[in-house]
Amino acid sequence: MSAARGRAGWTACFLGVVRRELLRFLQQKERFLAALVRPLVWLFIFAAGFRAVLGVSIMPPYQTYVLYEVYVVPGLVAMTLLFQGMQSSLSMVYDRETGTMRGLLVSPYPRWFLLTAKLSGAVLVGVAQAYAFLGIAWLYGVEAPPLGYLTVLPALALSGMLLAAIGLFLSSAIRQLENFAGVMNFVIFPMFFASSALYPLWRVRDGSPLLANVALANPFTHCVELIRFALFMQVNWLSLGVVLAMGGAFLAAAFWAYDPARGLMARRR
Amino acid sequence: MTDAAPAALEVDGLSFAYGKKKALDGVSFTAPAGAFTALLGVNGAGKTTLVNLVTRLFAAREGRIAICGRDLGSAPGAALAQLGVVFQSRALDPNLTVAQNAVYHGALHGMGRREALSRAEATLARVGLADRMRERVGRLSGGQQRRAEIAQALLHGPRLLVCDEPTTGLDIESRAAIVRDVHALAKEEGVGVLWATHLVDEIDAEDGVVVLDAGKVIAAGRAADIAEGRPLADAFLALTGAAA
């Protein structure tokens, strides 16, 4: 049937999976609220409190001294994408436990395509959350150039795809929903704190060269920097390369993991 | 069935193991189109493993599966397009309405929203749930949810319907109604049905039966022939007892 329906069938399938992700998100209003409150707490409380301690000097992409709130916003935007990526991973584990994922996996369309559609839905939700946060930050007085809100879109989409792909790969390895919280502690917090989200790498290097190197190897750092530069209408080529390469690698790993013949899912009863 | 028409399901020499534990061992059988074939076995006989292989949740490493003549290994898309599935555990999203679930399922088979809704009206009417389209699945009774799952599995017009113990947890009345409906479906619409169960009272005398025990087919044929004049339950117990 899939072949007979041609391009229209593929499009309908893709849009149907994305629509379901959006529907689920719209039905969980508290999830949207939680996704917003988390970075806002960091912005209103942490950033305001640490403004004096963590003043930031001139560094690309900024052309003047910036307040700590301005520095921290791209990191908090990336944080919303990180949590959304893990949330979509959690929903995959939940779907698997409740059995609803089976409907997806017995579709005649290839799994890589179905998983890409699911990821795209998750990215769309993450980007909407990121823009909602940027809007509140703007009202709070943390402004980027107006055009920056447009140029940041591809950076948000690429970063969201990388983080959701990491979540998807993890979901294939997590056997039960109960294990999820533990795994998240070993993923979200190290990724967030060992990155340039809260402090510039040059400052970290002063305190701990090792931590700075770890942060440089952390894909989340490159999501943050890609977003930071894009918000100020610039491209951080290193970060773009890392996000693209790591995104491709984690997508390939997730496709492999969900392959019924070879992947991790094939080894589980 | 004519000679030219392929069987709804052909399983040939199928084996599968979880690590070193063999779950299926050289299983071969055919489920004809337009007929109800029961896959009968006690818990742990390998029924669900077989269903997982037929639905490609697991990939077969040994043996061959063909759905309506399409090889599941070499042409999974074409084979799965002919397949509708009702799993043992619920597969509908309880937070979405019956219609929203149908639209999602239709999309997974390449259907647009309008087409999926129109087909859902027809398949839901068939199982007596036409008036529940806008109801959240979580608010339906257990029997209604199973019926909605069957309607959804039929949405894309499959030629093979695989049901894995679909009456588990239902009351006697709901069970009987669902079994009756699926028998009628096979007869009236020519859909081949593979019905995995351990409940012999769900099987009619004219149904095909494949008895699975410890991963092997120990008997296959018409239920009345397997029973040999006895109640089918007695014949089943004698067969599985003998195999043990």
First to last CA, chain B: 35
Q: Do B93 and A2 touch (CB under 8 A)?
A: no
Chain A residues touching residue B104 (CB < 8 angstroms): 16-17, 19-20, 103
Does A81 score more than 80 pLDDT? Answer: yes
Query: What average pLDDT is seen over chain A?
Result: 86
A24 reaches B (C-beta below 8 A): yes
Spatial distance between the Cα atoms of B1 and B33, rounded to a whole number of angstroms: 7
pLDDT at res. A5? 67
Does A254 score more than 70 pLDDT? Answer: yes
Q: Do A102 and B85 touch (CB under 8 A)?
A: yes
- To test the contact with chain A by mutation, choose from B109, B145, B150, B164 the residue with the greatest count of A C-beta atoms within 10 A, namely B109
Does A169 score more than 60 pLDDT? Answer: yes
Does A265 score more than 60 pLDDT? Answer: no
Structure tokens, B80: 């799965």
Q: Which residues of chain B have pLDDT under 70?
A: 1-4, 242-244
Instruction: Give how far A268 is from chain B: nearest CA, Å.
Output: 8
Instruction: Give how far B100 is from chain A: nearest CA, Å.
Output: 8
Q: Which of A20-29, A155-164, A199-208, B3-12 has maximum average pLDDT? A: A155-164
If we measure between CA atoms, which residue out of B41, B51, B37 comes closest to residue B7?
A: B37
Burial of residue A193 (number of CB atoms within 10 Å: 0-12, 13-18, 19+): middle
Its ipTM equals: 0.84
If we measure between CA atoms, which residue out of A174, A200, A172 comes closest to residue A55?
A: A200
A104 alpha-carbon distance from chain centroid: 23
Query: What average pLDDT is seen over chain B?
Result: 90
Spatial distance between the Cα atoms of A76 and A60, rounded to a whole number of angstroms: 18
| Half-sphere exposure at residue B84, Cβ-oriented, CA atoms within 13 angstroms | 25
Least confident of A50-59, A70-79, B42-51, B110-119: A50-59
pLDDT tens-place string over residues B19-77: 888 999 999 999 999 999 999 999 889 999 999 999 998 888 899 999 999 999 999 99
Least confident of A26-30, A36-40, A197-201, B16-20: A26-30
CA distances (Å), A193 to each of A117, A177, A201, B152, in order? 30, 25, 12, 46
Nearest by CB: B56 against A23, A99, A260: A260
The H helix count followed by the E strand count for chain B is 8, 10
Chain B residues touching residue A3 (CB < 8 angstroms): 77-78, 81
DSSP secondary structure code for residue A35 in this structure: H
Percent of all residues in chain A with a pLDDT value above 70, rounded to a whole number: 89
pLDDT at res. A37? 85
> What residues 3-22 of chain B have any CB closer than 8 A to a CB of chain A?
18
Instruction: Give how far A153 is from chain B: nearest CA, Å.
Output: 27
Instruction: Give how far A102 is from chain B: nearest CA, Å.
Output: 7
pLDDT tens-place string over residues A187-246: 888 999 999 988 888 888 888 899 999 999 999 999 999 999 999 999 999 999 999 999
pLDDT at res. B4? 61
| Higher-confidence position of A156 and A69 | A156
> What residues 126-155 of chain B have any CB closer than 8 A to a CB of chain A?
none
Percent of all residues in chain B with a pLDDT value above 70, rounded to a whole number: 97
> What residues 67-126 of chain B have any CB closer than 8 A to a CB of chain A?
76-83, 85, 87, 89-93, 95-96, 100, 103-113
Spatial distance between the Cα atoms of B226 and B211, rounded to a whole number of angstroms: 9
* Overall size of chain B counted in residues: 244
- To test the contact with chain A by mutation, choose from B54, B87, B98, B108 the residue with the greatest count of A C-beta atoms within 10 A, namely B108
